[in-house]
Structure 1
């Protein structure tokens, strides 16, 4: 009876191990017990042998104790190298940011080059459960991948640094694990595991080509290794390049962004509710629409003139050049908000997907020293260099001072603003020219390296020890083009050169006089010498360093009466991180015209941690408990920055019958404030003047707090804000920033029923997760601060949020300090479903894997008194996502079909609540703020020869475009939602070739 039971249990465990190798997020692939602490793994063939021979000497991500691969208390998803190749991914970045891993969470990828993102342009990060990249821990062979990137907000691992060609598999722990790994393991942990003990040389090449052109990518790599009796060494070098995909390369991205339908019931076309540009007869292109931005236009005082197409009335303060106009303002026609120019063909040159070139070298190995407990000295070295760039579009507002000789005679009496600007050298603004300057460029050169050395061996006959020391360094130069305020002002202060032209009044520094205000200048046709002098590349540098030392031991503690041996793992770890971001001197001095200014971000933090984990096998092989195991782990943390903290986690696995298991865990996690959140240097940005709460406050009821508070400042009821709101963002170390804390609960059910061979093997798992983040590190937001200050009853400079607000007594400009504080709350709940079916059909084997995630809640709030808003199902927050993988293997061939699904999303209910006066009824609203179900299909075929293989296929087989929404409500590309779950490339063909020697 006992022998029969053990055979049944071993068969179930072996089937689980095989299931794991094909993406089953129930278990994790095996690792050698001697590599428990570092996460190092055996080669695939050795792993399969060890699983078949000894199922009690392996470990999984999420624990430091060797165990049966079937005994994963927390849900772990495994992605094998073969799966990624068949799916057509040419980088680990693409794999990790795919729907199957992220479950629909939006990721920062290379479509975000025109936005301010943590890590700077070109960085690629990973967010699990939609909780953000800083709450997802990335490991390489069980050890942290330190942050890399550019600019002051470097706080997350950059996926670009990973050694793609050496990766054997990826293990994704979808559970909080700070008691095991420390800070950042809030939403989950991703462990990238490299190949081990390779022999010979393997060369690989892959090319992905888009049918529509643009965005092609290539990867070439060589991997080598040698294994001896007492040592092993392996490594790789790879080159990766992705070409730029521009907005103009895709019709759906380069068309005119539109906002409304005119009449849904009448079936009017998309955009027909928008203003029809009389110049083109088509809906208005709003590429530059950001609250009044325009090009090919001038601003003057209000005066009488000829109305241009689409404008009404006879008095205007915005004008477009028109040589046919001979009355009123000669040479100009009046334009309105709708009829102004907003499109320039150069906008189509902007990067949709920015280009990048990456070089990566990796070396790993070890050798036995025959001492210190049969110890092995091991090492890893990773070097990475990224060159990325982006193309943007720049609008220039050029202020000509009253009385400037550069203003033509018919505009000499204009006074656009009865106050000086940064460019008018103390004089009032006479004419403001809104010029489409053209394309600008930025680039990043990031060098990253990481070196690890250590020793591991035996303590006695059954305990293991390991000591490791690791150093990482990211060094980034970031360059972008900007107008220099002082040079613009100097160039606009001119005198006659005596020959009909102009020269700078102050000729210092090679000053080049600004062009006169002409039709050509307004159209963006300006002298190259002047552009080269006022529009220059500026470069900053970001240095991020991290040092880690740890020591740990693991082994048996004592025997239980029935279940088995209690195992334990204990260790101590010390880490220190430093950041030094030095912006260009022009940025520090606020000399970048119409761009943010930044001061240096400099600081460091260190932590000492002690941790332990104990696993209790309470029962084994008895009726009602084939297995019953409890796991307990805890960690004590002491940071220099915010002090000490403790985290813990308890978990259990119960297998009442051989074909069913129940697992559950509950624990706490935390995230220490990132260095940039603590020490970010003051960074200045701006909000539109309409955000000033006192703007036209006289239209409010006289007894409202805003009316009373604005009047208390001495502002007239008809006050009109003419200056933007300055927003200063800075770190929160001085305000006592503390760590985020979170609670994590998961419970899962695993079924592996035994059927006859004719039916095949069926497995099913469902896991419920609930994560609540408290004390979240966030910024209150300038708009929130202004609302709370002016809308409160305690209005004073030193009270409440008003301490963060000041108003200049001369210009009446508002300044808001928007620092990092512990204020926000985030809650994520949901269900993960996994179904796996395997059956022999004909001469081959058929496999089907279905992964489905359902979010039950995605809630957040900024302030404690705010209502908790559930964004589940809204745009960028799908309620459901899923992937289906079908494959058939026969002899040397493997055929695959893959399907990715993102549920339809809608924001109508939310905006109806927030805007009760507007029509946001889905059946009648003129706004389109929903997306339908989105499906992507891929097919591929693979042939494996003796020492070579070829894989070819098509991603996005049906050339599915991203769905459209109304422009101006969410960030968009054209009219497509800016959301990483959608494919921007279109139909893409790929081929991968490998050859071993």
Structure 2
């Protein structure tokens, strides 16, 4: 069997539904394939099995998946890790992640080998695609929602490092999206799908093309609209927290009040308002209260309207206000054309416009004021005046020491209030992408078989705006809660009532003064010029030629992030963010050589030199081999160096993030005796054994570092492809193929922020000492001050694993033809270690920070095809993972029964089916398909530590069945 047939094999192409089996005449023609360029090498080759593993995803596979975006499709590959998609609903309610790239709300990205989407290079027709902005930063990742699915001819995924071929960002691999270039006639396509709980999906696109002796042209216009699914549609959202834990949020509609009354002292304590908070109130209003009664300083006693705050009983369940699926509307226009000036020279061009409108929603924004808020900003300094007309306590609540506070000490922890009467926070994104490409292709008769060359110039930009409503201006909160005389003298100021709970709602007039809509914008621009030359150097045998490719590329990156002025000044309660406006350029040259020493053995080498305006130069290399000891078997391997230059967000971003950290000295989520390993360090700081963390979120400052250097990597792979001849043309088998690859990556000088939880734990159990612990300090009431979590070239990431793929195709029988394929990835190791030897929590088999690395991910496809009918059954398997109960709290209902135990997220299997009918109802060119994804309505496993919706949206599907009908008519 000629191994070039593997280009056509559905099972070895991708982790998705198999297309209809290849007809015999197609397979025969494949044995005389022309030399083509396959992702991973610029040298045109006729061998489909190259030295590196490349998955080739056909248009038929995409159509049979039911996917509405490229990102949705690719994230089901077994080699994929966690990446943003429409199931993520965080826009600003937690703040900004530490990578400087922003939140990416509404975008869809791709991760390979669990190394992060910023370590995957996205190409379109072999040329770099602009990175996304999404109005929250300057990202190093591409948004696949900017590329309409309608224009895709196929997708090539290089599951190997390729910096020597393509430059920066190709550490984990490359996704090359090949667009339709030669298309005759027109196709009208529409699709409707629904989850049955909202989330209706409507798609419509038209593609038309024509070609002649010298001209090819393709035009496509598409529209996709996906509606939202509220988290309230899922029964699990009714539990106290999305994951089933006891905590919820301390920002409750009834309010939470932590303060000390200087007129009241607890017997046996040394003085008023002691730092150990022994004589402090921590209370909330009783349900049903309409008139708060402080009851002469006995608010929790008989006649009082308060009780001691308890997370289990009083924590606010924010889950029903979230979205399980965020709505999105995408509109795009694409055109491409080529014109042959002569037999050897042609011009080509492409233009694309894509617009995305998407929305995220969060629970009503809680108001946190007072030192325990821990924002590091204005909210921590807010005091509440005794003459505030709604203050029921009759005393000044002082954030700092003041003569009006009894003995002159500060007596205020914080007051929180969740104003559900205002409505949820809404974040609306409007993102437009422009892409222009013009180039020239040519060939000449240099060398033994001629050479090919091309020059391309590209301008692309991604412009995003985000409008945020129902957020607060903290500076106005300070005025509205302070001295009422100052408020009355300030134009527009209305004294604010945080004390009446749900029984006395905040009035529209009060909201009118303290709320403030906010507008953020960002933009990324990529301009590049690239030139490539490829051909043969010399002949080495009757049918063997030494091939080469050389090229040059110039790129200029420009990034701007303009957060709302309230964010920049710290007056937005949502989050602080600083602006970014910067650019850099890079010049690169590469050379690649392929030497077929024997008809069965070849080697390839590549070298690339890059010169950056930000940090200087870098050189990367690659070596590979291909050995075919017999017709049925190819053995292959690669070794390569990689690097990733820090992007603009990583260099210059500065933001905040609300991390769901657990304080080792007294957790909010599981109060009680602290872990004995932390006790000594907590006691040494004077922290009382009765201390409890005030909030489940601890604000930290995150951002970039202008002194960052590039990441470096080394990776190698070794594998084999076997197509046994004994399985060809039998009564039970027409062909069978097997593919096996081992991969190993080591990234050094990795750009990352410290694992704050691991660092915090280590500083208190004594395993980490020195300057690494200097960022953890404590303020009022022993609450943690906001730590810094800035990026640095911190250490090393190592990961390794095994890919196994197999495909079987039956002969054509009277009742049809069967196919079966399997793709499986077994991740053997993932370890991230910083430069001081501290290991991050993230590892194989562990759920942490809303992300998991299952040790096994497997996809199986079964297919049937007869005449105009085909059917497929796709099974996706994800092995079990554990999560650390110490990051969640004691939740007996889910199995987290002690702070040091583990909670299992069991193995999960999804089933997707589709039936297709070509030339339906006797109409030539009409295709009808009906499909159901998640056929058995499998729910994702409960994740106690996951934020927002209580499951890992990067690993698991939505909890509902999705059915769809797809119609396509070609004429």
Residues 140-194 of structure 1: per-residue CA shift (max 9 Å, x gap): 1111111012212421000110121111111111101111111111111111111
Q: Does residue 1:848 correspond to 2:820, yes or no? A: yes
8 Å CA contact retained: 1:504, 1:513: yes
Aligned to 1:390: 360
- Give the C-alpha shift of residue 493 in structure 1: 4.2
Checking the alignment, whether the CA contact within 8 Å between 2:444 and 2:452 is kept in structure 1 is yes
SS in 1 for 2:71: helix
Matched residues in 2 for 1:844 and 1:219: separation? Answer: 31
Shift of the alpha carbon at 1:813? Answer: 7.8
Cross-structure match for 2:564: 584
Equivalent position of 1:613 in the other structure: 592
SS in structure 2 at match of 1:964: coil
Q: Which residue of 2 aligns with 1:934?
A: 908
Please tell me whether the aligned partners of residues 3 and 632 of structure 2 are also in contact (alpha carbons under 8 angstroms): no
Select the residue among 602, 605, 622 that pairs with 1:632: 605
Query: Please, which of 830, 833, 851 is the counterpart of residue 858 of structure 1?
Result: 830
Pair 534,25 (structure 1): closer, same or farther in 2 beyond 3 Å: closer
Question: For 1:171, which of 156, 160, 172 is the aligned residue?
Answer: 156
How do 1:672-687 and structure 2 match up within 5 A?
A: 672-681=645-654, 683=656
Taking only aligned residues, the RMSD between alpha carbons, in angstroms, comes to 4.2
Equivalent in the alignment of 1:18: 8
103, 128, 137: which one pairs with 1:144?
Answer: 128
The answer as to whether partners of 2:78 and 2:859 remain within 8 angstroms in 1 is no
Aligned length: 893
CA distance in 1, matches of 2:416, 2:682: 35
Equivalents in 2 of 1:702, 1:851: separation in Å?
Answer: 45
Point out where structure 2 has 5 or more consecutive residues left out of the alignment.
266-277, 371-382, 404-408
Higher relative contact order (CA 8 A, sep 6+): 2
Would you say the 8 A contact 1:446–1:477 is kept in 2? yes
Task: Say which of 326, 339, 342 aligns to 1:354.
Answer: 326
Distance 1:474 1:767 in 2: 37
Match of 1:488 in 2: 477
Distance 1:347 1:406, change over 3 A: farther
Quote the offset at 1:507 in angstroms. 3.4
Give the whole-Å Cα distance in 2 for the aligned partners of 1:701 and 1:431. 30
> Which residue does 1:278 correspond to in 2?
none
Distance 2:537 2:776 in 1: 60
Q: Take 2:959 and 2:142, find their aligned partners in 1: how far apart are those partners?
A: 25
Question: What residue in structure 2 maps to residue 463 of structure 1?
Answer: 451
Structure 2 residue 285 is matched with structure 1 residue 320: yes
- The answer to whether 1:248 aligns with 2:248 is no
SS state at 1:961 partner: coil
TM-aligned CA deviation for residue 720 of structure 1:
10
| Counterpart among 107, 113, 125 of residue 123 in structure 1 | 107
Residue aligned with 2:537, SS: strand
Residue 223 (structure 1) aligned with residue 210 (structure 2): no
In the other structure, the counterpart of 1:623 is none
| Residue-by-residue CA offset, 1:713-747 (whole Å, 9 max, x unaligned) | xx9999999999763323211x3x11111111111
Matched, 1:472 2:460: yes
Bigger strand share: 1
- Structure 1 residues 677, 920: closer, same or farther in 2, change over 3 A? farther
State how far apart, in whole Å, the 1-side matches of 2:675 and 2:911 are.
Answer: 55
- Gapped regions of structure 1 (runs ≥ 5): 1-10, 30-43, 260-270, 275-283, 306-312, 497-502, 621-626
Equivalent-residue separation in structure 1 for 2:968 and 2:504 (angstroms) = 51
- The aligned counterpart of 1:750 is 721
Matched with 2:248 is: 287
* Residue aligned with 2:2, SS: helix
Pairs within 5 Å for 1:566-965: 566-593=546-573, 595-620=574-599, 627-681=600-654, 683=656, 690=663, 727-733=700-706, 735=707, 737-754=708-725, 755=727, 756-760=729-733, 761-781=735-755, 800-801=771-772, 814=785, 816-839=787-810, 840-867=812-839, 871-875=843-847, 876-907=852-883, 929-945=903-919, 946-965=924-943
Partner of 1:262: none
Pairwise mapping of residues 105-504 of structure 1 onto structure 2 (< 5 A)?
105-114=81-90, 116=96, 118-119=101-102, 120-150=104-134, 151-211=136-196, 213-257=197-241, 286-288=247-249, 292-299=250-257, 301=259, 317-321=282-286, 323=289, 328-329=298-299, 330=303, 332-338=305-311, 340-343=313-316, 347-370=319-342, 374-393=344-363, 394-397=365-368, 401-407=384-390, 411-413=393-395, 415=397, 419=401, 429=412, 432=415, 434-437=417-420, 438-461=423-446, 462-481=450-469, 482-493=471-482, 495=484, 504=487
- Look up the SS of the partner of 1:929 in the other structure: strand
Q: Does 1:512 align with 2:494?
A: yes
Q: What is the SS of the residue equivalent to 1:95? A: helix
Which TM-score applies when normalising by structure 2? 0.83
C-alpha contact 1:198 1:227 (8 A) present in aligned 2:
yes
Change (3 A) 1:69 1:993: farther
In 2, distance between residues paired with 1:48 and 1:859? 45
- Conserved 8 A contact 2:88-2:953: no
C-alpha deviation, 1:368, in angstroms: 1.5
**Structure 2 match to 1:973:** 949
CA contact (8 A) 1:179 1:649 kept: yes
1:430-454 C-alpha deviation (Å, 9 max, x unpaired):
9835334341111111111111111
Q: Which residue of 1 aligns with 2:274?
A: none
3-state DSSP class of the match of 1:957?
Answer: coil
Question: Please, what TM-score do these two structures have when normalized by structure 1?
Answer: 0.81
Does the 8 Å CA contact 2:803/2:826 hold for their aligned counterparts? yes
